[in-house]
Amino acid sequence: MTGEELGEGWDSVATLVDGRWVERRPKRDEVRAWLLRETRVLPWLAPQLPVAVPIPLVWRENPLVVRHELVPGEPAELTAEDGRVLGRFLHALHSADAAKARELGAEPEVLALDAVPPLLGPLAERGRALLAEVRDYPADTVIHADLGPEHVLKRDGRLSGVIDWTDVGIGDPARDLAWLLHWTSAECVEAFSEEYEVTPELRRRAWAWNQLGPWYEVAYGVQNDRPDLVESGLAGTRARLAETSQPCREEKDRQG
């Protein structure tokens, strides 16, 4: 058996075994419960989705190792066709039975971000208002909760998988739209919006979730004594909060 380190994220360390299996180990005690949640939720969820996702199982109890077959592909620029596929994917995900997901361990996220506004100086009040608003958003839908460029894979020019489900839970579906609407190509945004049928209200909430994106880096840095992450996260937070409104990628491209 041969192993190759795939990388180390905030929560776990991943190793590729025999070129086929991905083994993940928690970096902190609380991550153990999150990895175990994946082994319950994803085998139930995967057959309902039109895109491949990991289907992990417990490979070893102590110390914990979970294993799943490698989902092939690499991050790449998303096209209009990818936007349509992701529209179908998120529609299926967000239509999953939230009550059943709760039975399997999916929970509403507790937004542990209160440490961020006091670090924002003159933008502190704006930050507090944003956080209060987002906490009032609906939280009744099965969501990925960490959809971003490194977690959407392509192979041979086509979407091949969505990975990293550590944060899977019950929340606001607009959270899964934040990156797609603001950081992918205009063609992808337009096709996704049509396929998913993005409403003005969803777009508004997705913008607010996009504003919160760098906050997680700040909070993680504070909790884990990583001043470098605090600094970079605060820079991103201030840049986004400095604008009172922000059009999505499609609108920005139309404006030239």
CATH of residue 17's domain is 3.30.200.20
Query: What local confidence, expressed as pLDDT, does residue 7 receive?
Result: 64
pLDDT of 254 > 50? The answer is no
Residues 121 and 96 in one domain: yes
Q: Mean pLDDT across the stretch 90-117?
A: 96
Query: What local confidence, expressed as pLDDT, does residue 8 receive?
Result: 64
Alpha-carbon dihedral of residues 230, 231, 237, 239, nearest 10 degrees? -170
pLDDT tier at 180, thresholds 50, 70, 90 = very high
The single-letter code of the amino acid at 18 is D
Determine, yes or no, domain membership for 42. Answer: yes
pLDDT of 48 > 90? The answer is yes
Q: What is the pTM of this model?
A: 0.90
Query: What local confidence, expressed as pLDDT, does residue 244 receive?
Result: 58
Residues 30 and 93 in one domain: no
- The domain boundary, picked from 32, 49, 69, lies at 69
Q: Mean pLDDT across the stretch 139-156?
A: 97
Determine, yes or no, domain membership for 74. Answer: no
Determine, yes or no, domain membership for 28. Answer: yes
Query: What local confidence, expressed as pLDDT, does residue 250 receive?
Result: 46
Q: Mean pLDDT across the stretch 94-103?
A: 98
Q: Which residue has the higher pLDDT, 4 or 108?
A: 108
Strands 3-8 and 57-60: unpaired
Q: Mean pLDDT across the stretch 167-186?
A: 97
pLDDT of 29 > 70? The answer is yes
Query: What local confidence, expressed as pLDDT, does residue 252 receive?
Result: 46
Query: What local confidence, expressed as pLDDT, does residue 251 receive?
Result: 45
- What rounded mean pLDDT belongs to the chain? 92
Residues 30 and 52 in one domain: yes
Q: What is the CATH number of the domain that holds 168?
A: 3.90.1200.10
Residues 97 and 57 in one domain: no
As for how many domains the chain has, the answer is 2
Cis peptide before 26 (omega within 30 of 0): no
Residues 17 and 100 in one domain: no
pLDDT of 139 > 50? The answer is yes
Question: CA 177 to CA 158: how far, in whole Å?
Answer: 20
Residues 154 and 234 in one domain: yes
Question: CA 16 to CA 41: how far, in whole Å?
Answer: 22
Where in the sequence is the domain holding 37, given as residue range(s)? 3-69
Strand order in the sheet with 21-26: 3-8, 12-17, 21-26, 65-69, 57-60
Residues 124 and 170 in one domain: yes
Q: Which residue has the tokens 């895109």?
A: 51
Q: Which residue has the higher pLDDT, 109 or 159?
A: 159
pLDDT of 256 > 50? The answer is no
Determine, yes or no, domain membership for 140. Answer: yes
Residues 126 and 37 in one domain: no
Strands (E), 95-186: 141-143, 152-155, 158-162, 169-171
Question: CA 120 to CA 166: how far, in whole Å?
Answer: 28
Query: What local confidence, expressed as pLDDT, does residue 168 receive?
Result: 97
Residues 50 and 97 in one domain: no
Residues 12 and 131 in one domain: no
pLDDT tier at 110, thresholds 50, 70, 90 = confident
- The domain boundary, picked from 40, 69, 98, lies at 69
pLDDT of 92 > 60? The answer is yes
Q: Mean pLDDT across the stretch 26-41?
A: 94
- Measured in Å, how far apart are the chain's first and last C-alpha atoms? 54
Residues 208 and 170 in one domain: yes
Determine, yes or no, domain membership for 75. Answer: no
Please report which residue ranges of the chain form alpha helices under DSSP H.
Answer: 29-45, 80-94, 98-103, 124-135, 178-183, 186-196, 200-212, 215-223, 227-241, 249-255
pLDDT tier at 4, thresholds 50, 70, 90 = low
Query: What local confidence, expressed as pLDDT, does residue 193 receive?
Result: 98
Using an 8 Å Cβ cutoff, are 180 and 196 in contact? no
CA angle 251, 165, 128 (to 5 degrees): 55
Query: What local confidence, expressed as pLDDT, does residue 3 receive?
Result: 62
